[in-house]
Amino acid sequence: MENAMLQGIKITNVEFTNNIKAQKKIELGFGYSYNVKYSAQNTCIGEFTAKIKDKSAPGEFFINVTATGVFRFTEGAKKEILHVETYNDLFPHVRAFVTTLTSNAGIPPIIIPFIDISKKEIYRFEMGKDNKNPPSVDDFINPYDNQ
Protein backbone atom coordinates (compact mmCIF):
# COMPACT_ATOMS: atom_id res chain seq x y z
CA MET A 1 0.00 0.00 0.00
CA GLU A 2 1.37 3.38 -0.97
CA ASN A 3 1.34 5.92 1.85
CA ALA A 4 2.81 8.87 -0.07
CA MET A 5 1.88 10.45 -3.38
CA LEU A 6 4.21 12.71 -5.35
CA GLN A 7 2.52 16.07 -5.99
CA GLY A 8 5.33 17.90 -7.79
CA ILE A 9 9.05 17.86 -8.44
CA LYS A 10 11.70 20.35 -9.42
CA ILE A 11 15.44 20.24 -9.93
CA THR A 12 16.80 22.84 -7.53
CA ASN A 13 20.53 22.57 -8.25
CA VAL A 14 22.74 21.27 -11.07
CA GLU A 15 26.52 21.43 -11.24
CA PHE A 16 28.19 19.74 -14.19
CA THR A 17 31.83 19.83 -15.20
CA ASN A 18 33.19 17.79 -18.09
CA ASN A 19 36.85 18.61 -18.71
CA ILE A 20 37.88 15.03 -19.51
CA LYS A 21 40.38 14.74 -22.33
CA ALA A 22 39.38 12.46 -25.20
CA GLN A 23 39.90 8.72 -24.78
CA LYS A 24 40.54 8.91 -21.04
CA LYS A 25 39.03 6.10 -19.00
CA ILE A 26 37.40 7.28 -15.79
CA GLU A 27 36.22 5.48 -12.68
CA LEU A 28 33.01 6.95 -11.33
CA GLY A 29 32.19 7.36 -7.67
CA PHE A 30 28.61 7.87 -6.52
CA GLY A 31 27.22 9.49 -3.38
CA TYR A 32 23.64 10.20 -2.35
CA SER A 33 21.82 11.99 0.41
CA TYR A 34 18.11 12.10 1.10
CA ASN A 35 16.16 14.08 3.66
CA VAL A 36 12.47 14.54 4.36
CA LYS A 37 10.90 17.53 6.13
CA TYR A 38 7.34 17.22 7.39
CA SER A 39 4.79 20.00 7.64
CA ALA A 40 1.11 20.41 8.42
CA GLN A 41 -1.75 18.98 6.35
CA ASN A 42 -0.02 15.61 5.79
CA THR A 43 2.55 17.13 3.45
CA CYS A 44 6.29 16.56 3.30
CA ILE A 45 9.21 17.74 1.21
CA GLY A 46 11.85 15.22 0.08
CA GLU A 47 15.27 16.45 -1.04
CA PHE A 48 17.51 14.05 -2.96
CA THR A 49 21.09 14.91 -3.89
CA ALA A 50 23.24 12.77 -6.16
CA LYS A 51 26.99 13.36 -6.54
CA ILE A 52 28.92 11.65 -9.30
CA LYS A 53 32.63 12.21 -9.87
CA ASP A 54 35.75 10.78 -11.44
CA LYS A 55 37.54 9.15 -8.51
CA SER A 56 41.02 9.96 -9.83
CA ALA A 57 40.28 13.54 -10.96
CA PRO A 58 37.10 14.87 -9.34
CA GLY A 59 37.82 18.40 -10.55
CA GLU A 60 37.77 17.28 -14.19
CA PHE A 61 34.43 15.46 -14.12
CA PHE A 62 31.60 15.79 -11.65
CA ILE A 63 27.84 16.10 -11.49
CA ASN A 64 25.89 17.32 -8.49
CA VAL A 65 22.11 17.26 -8.82
CA THR A 66 19.52 18.11 -6.20
CA ALA A 67 15.82 17.42 -6.72
CA THR A 68 13.02 18.37 -4.39
CA GLY A 69 9.64 16.69 -4.35
CA VAL A 70 6.41 17.55 -2.59
CA PHE A 71 4.38 14.64 -1.25
CA ARG A 72 1.02 14.18 0.39
CA PHE A 73 0.82 11.26 2.76
CA THR A 74 -1.76 9.14 4.53
CA GLU A 75 -2.72 10.23 8.02
CA GLY A 76 -0.89 8.14 10.62
CA ALA A 77 1.74 6.72 8.23
CA LYS A 78 5.06 5.96 9.92
CA LYS A 79 7.83 8.37 9.00
CA GLU A 80 10.32 5.56 8.40
CA ILE A 81 7.98 4.08 5.78
CA LEU A 82 7.32 7.51 4.26
CA HIS A 83 11.06 8.12 4.04
CA VAL A 84 11.58 4.98 1.95
CA GLU A 85 8.50 5.49 -0.22
CA THR A 86 9.28 9.12 -1.03
CA TYR A 87 12.88 8.21 -1.87
CA ASN A 88 11.66 5.44 -4.17
CA ASP A 89 9.33 7.92 -5.93
CA LEU A 90 11.93 10.68 -6.32
CA PHE A 91 14.98 8.57 -7.27
CA PRO A 92 13.84 7.62 -10.82
CA HIS A 93 13.40 11.30 -11.71
CA VAL A 94 16.97 12.10 -10.67
CA ARG A 95 18.29 9.00 -12.46
CA ALA A 96 16.52 10.02 -15.69
CA PHE A 97 17.76 13.60 -15.38
CA VAL A 98 21.40 12.49 -15.00
CA THR A 99 21.08 10.05 -17.90
CA THR A 100 19.57 12.73 -20.16
CA LEU A 101 22.11 15.35 -19.09
CA THR A 102 25.11 13.14 -19.84
CA SER A 103 23.65 11.82 -23.08
CA ASN A 104 22.94 15.35 -24.32
CA ALA A 105 26.46 16.43 -23.29
CA GLY A 106 27.94 14.08 -25.89
CA ILE A 107 29.29 11.48 -23.47
CA PRO A 108 28.08 7.96 -22.78
CA PRO A 109 24.91 8.18 -20.68
CA ILE A 110 25.41 7.63 -16.97
CA ILE A 111 22.76 5.57 -15.21
CA ILE A 112 23.17 6.00 -11.49
CA PRO A 113 22.76 2.78 -9.50
CA PHE A 114 19.76 2.34 -7.25
CA ILE A 115 20.35 1.92 -3.54
CA ASP A 116 17.65 0.13 -1.56
CA ILE A 117 17.40 2.35 1.50
CA SER A 118 14.83 0.08 3.10
CA LYS A 119 17.84 -2.03 4.12
CA LYS A 120 19.72 0.97 5.59
CA GLU A 121 19.50 2.67 8.95
CA ILE A 122 17.39 5.81 8.73
CA TYR A 123 18.44 8.69 10.94
CA ARG A 124 15.49 10.74 12.04
CA PHE A 125 15.53 14.34 13.22
CA GLU A 126 12.25 15.93 14.24
CA MET A 127 11.57 19.54 13.30
CA GLY A 128 10.35 21.71 16.15
CA LYS A 129 6.65 22.48 16.48
CA ASP A 130 7.40 26.20 16.56
CA ASN A 131 8.85 26.23 13.04
CA LYS A 132 7.78 29.64 11.65
CA ASN A 133 8.39 28.78 7.98
CA PRO A 134 7.29 25.20 7.30
CA PRO A 135 7.80 23.84 3.77
CA SER A 136 5.06 24.90 1.40
CA VAL A 137 3.54 22.99 -1.48
CA ASP A 138 2.80 26.34 -3.16
CA ASP A 139 6.50 26.74 -4.02
CA PHE A 140 6.28 23.90 -6.53
CA ILE A 141 4.78 23.46 -9.95
CA ASN A 142 2.98 20.19 -10.51
CA PRO A 143 3.44 19.25 -14.17
CA TYR A 144 0.57 16.75 -13.87
CA ASP A 145 -1.98 19.26 -12.57
CA ASN A 146 -4.49 20.03 -15.34
CA GLN A 147 -6.36 22.69 -13.40
For the segment 28-42, what is each residue's pLDDT rounded down to a tens digit? 999 999 999 998 789
- Cβ burial of 84 (10 Å; 0-12, 13-18, 19+) is buried
pTM: 0.78
Task: Report DSSP state, residue 59.
Answer: T
Instruction: Answer for the pair 73, 43: CB distance below 8 angstroms, yes or no.
Output: yes
- Condensed to tens digits (0 to 9), the pLDDT of residues 107-139 reads 889 999 888 887 655 544 444 444 455 444 444
Domains of the chain: 4-110 (3.10.420.10)
Rounded to an integer, what distance in angstroms lies between the CA atom of residue 60 and that of residue 80?
Answer: 37
CA 33 to each of CA 20, 117, 147: distance values in angstroms, whole numbers, following the listed order: 26, 11, 33
- Condensed to tens digits (0 to 9), the pLDDT of residues 62-114 reads 999 999 999 999 988 898 889 999 999 999 999 999 999 999 998 889 999 88
